[in-house]
């Protein structure tokens, strides 16, 4: 199996690939891709591409629907870099509350002053601030990163109010009881001294922080965005900063506009740039790919359903990616008289995966019959 890495990927992950896998440079020959932030929207699809693993959570650099239509399963690595991002969010909170950056820059600019230890005491008045203890933070999105941010803020003595309409019972049970949950964003806007965004960039979340919202926020609120830049309407943000509604904006996703705005603290997308996060993401991404190739298992895909067929006990396993419609009758016609031991089928959105375990070798013509069925996107025999 030929693997192409579109970014630098930690050797901790790549070294996990067994001998069956070869890391190559030629994208046109890729059967598997590991990617971090490289833009994939304009690349020509390699003909034999089976799957892509994004070493990270956000997948807005990958054309998910196009990949799904082509039978390319896209994975991400939720949670693998969550601690790294959480720690940077906490740093963001602190550098927004006190002018630590201004102070550090002042020392650098005055490093030739032999009396600096005295001058500091006069100069420091310009770099004061507030403590975060006792302040209220609204955490919007309580997934892998948001949940950790909420918990860390609570442990730092903040009042935490969280919003996440998709919060699983499991995720809810790991949050401290003192964290207040709301299903009404307006409540968050009204009371928060800080708001932190932890949700994916989708059509439904694009520019969710806009004029209408800024009108509702508590005056002097600080907005933290360690998710994606386009969650925030930059023109509306500029107005909100000018009016004092938003005191500071801290972002790990600067763009030309925000990089040039007053009261904006820009970090160059460093959330997951820790050795630990890079290793965790790479490890998880490479294992997701191998598991899919070798067993058909799909965990953490963003464009195909989760499916776990378990250990293969049969002679053959066939993995069929297809449109959502029920093709079981046609499938069983093709497999008529074959010793089918197990069938598992799962659906997500408009795409389904069906896996057959069959206790005899399945000839190529049988696979061709599957491929010819309308609605079938890809058929693969594991062994």
Interface ranges with ligand MLT (CB under 6 A): 36-37, 56-58, 81, 269, 271-272
- The nearest distance, CB 36 to ligand MLT, in angstroms, is 4
> Measured from the CB atom, is 259 or 270 closer to ligand MLT?
270
> Measured from the CB atom, is 269 or 348 closer to ligand MLT?
269
> Measured from the CB atom, is 57 or 217 closer to ligand MLT?
57
- The nearest distance, CB 253 to ligand MLT, in angstroms, is 8
- The nearest distance, CB 53 to ligand MLT, in angstroms, is 12
- The nearest distance, CB 85 to ligand MLT, in angstroms, is 7
> Measured from the CB atom, is 57 or 142 closer to ligand MLT?
57
> Measured from the CB atom, is 33 or 221 closer to ligand MLT?
33
Contact in structure between 294 and 321 (CB atoms under 8 Å): no
- The nearest distance, CB 367 to ligand MLT, in angstroms, is 36
> Measured from the CB atom, is 158 or 284 closer to ligand MLT?
284
> Measured from the CB atom, is 57 or 161 closer to ligand MLT?
57
3-state secondary structure the chain: CEEEECCCCCHHHHCCCCCCCEEECCHHHCCEEEECCCCCCCCCCCCCCCEEEECCCCCCCCCHHHHHHCCCEEECCCCCCHHHHHHHHHHHHHHHHECHHHHHHHHHHCCCCCCHHHHHHHHHHHHCECCCCCCEEEEECCCHHHHHHHHHHHHCCCEEEEECCCCCHHHHHHCCCCCEEECCHHHHHHHCCEEEECCCCCCCCCCCECHHHHHHCCCCEEEEECCCHHHECHHHHHHHHHHCCEEEEEECCCCHHHHCCCCEEECCCCCCCCHHHHHHHHHHHHHHHHHHHHHCCECCECCCCCECCCCCCCCEEEEEEEECCCCHHHHHHHCCCCCEEEEEEEEECCEEEEEEEECCCCCHHHHHHHHHCCCEEEEEECC
- The nearest distance, CB 290 to ligand MLT, in angstroms, is 21
- The nearest distance, CB 131 to ligand MLT, in angstroms, is 29
């Amino acid at each position: 199996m030929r693997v192409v890495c579109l970014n630098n990927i930690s050797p901790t992950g790549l070294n996990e690939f067994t001998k069956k896998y070869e890391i190559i440079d030629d994208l046109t020959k890729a059967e598997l891709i590991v990617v971090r932030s490289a833009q994939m929207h304009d690349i020509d699809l390699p003909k034999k591409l089976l799957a892509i693993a994004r070493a990270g959570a956000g997948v807005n650099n990958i054309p998910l629907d196009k990949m799904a239509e082509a039978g390319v399963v896209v994975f991400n690595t939720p949670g693998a870099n969550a601690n790294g991002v959480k720690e940077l969010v906490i740093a963001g909170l602190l550098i927004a509350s006190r002018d630590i950056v201004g102070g550090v820059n002042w020392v650098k600019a005055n490093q030739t002053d032999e009396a600096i230890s005295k001058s500091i005491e006069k100069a420091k008045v310009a770099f004061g601030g507030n403590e975060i203890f006792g302040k209220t933070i609204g955490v919007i999105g309580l997934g892998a990163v948001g949940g950790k941010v909420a918990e860390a803020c609570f442990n730092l003595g903040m009042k935490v109010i969280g919003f996440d309409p998709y919060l699983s019972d499991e995720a809810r049970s790991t949050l401290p009881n003192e964290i207040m949950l709301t299903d009404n964003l307006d409540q968050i806007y009204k009371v928060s001294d800080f708001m932190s965004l932890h949700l994916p960039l989708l059509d439904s979340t694009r520019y969710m922080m806009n004029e209408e919202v800024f009108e509702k926020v508590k005056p002097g609120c600080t907005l933290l965005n360690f998710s994606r830049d386009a969650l925030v309407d930059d023109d509306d943000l500029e107005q909100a900063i000018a009016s004092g509604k938003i005191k500071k904006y801290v972002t790990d996703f600067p763009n030309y506009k925000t990089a040039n705005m007053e009261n904006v603290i820009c970090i160059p997308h460093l959330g997951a740039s820790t050795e630990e996060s890079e290793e965790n993401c790479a490890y998880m991404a490479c294992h997701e790919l191998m598991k899919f190739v070798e067993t058909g298992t799909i965990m953490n895909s963003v464009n195909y359903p989760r499916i776990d067929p378990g250990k293969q006990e049969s002679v053959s396993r066939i993995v069929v990616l297809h449109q959502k419609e029920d093709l079981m009758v046609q499938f069983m016609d093709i497999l008529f008289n074959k010793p089918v031991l197990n069938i598992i089928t799962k659906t997500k959105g408009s795409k389904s995966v069906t896996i057959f375990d069959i206790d005899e070798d399945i000839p190529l013509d049988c696979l061709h019959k599957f491929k010819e069925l309308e609605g079938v996107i890809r058929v693969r025999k594991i062994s």
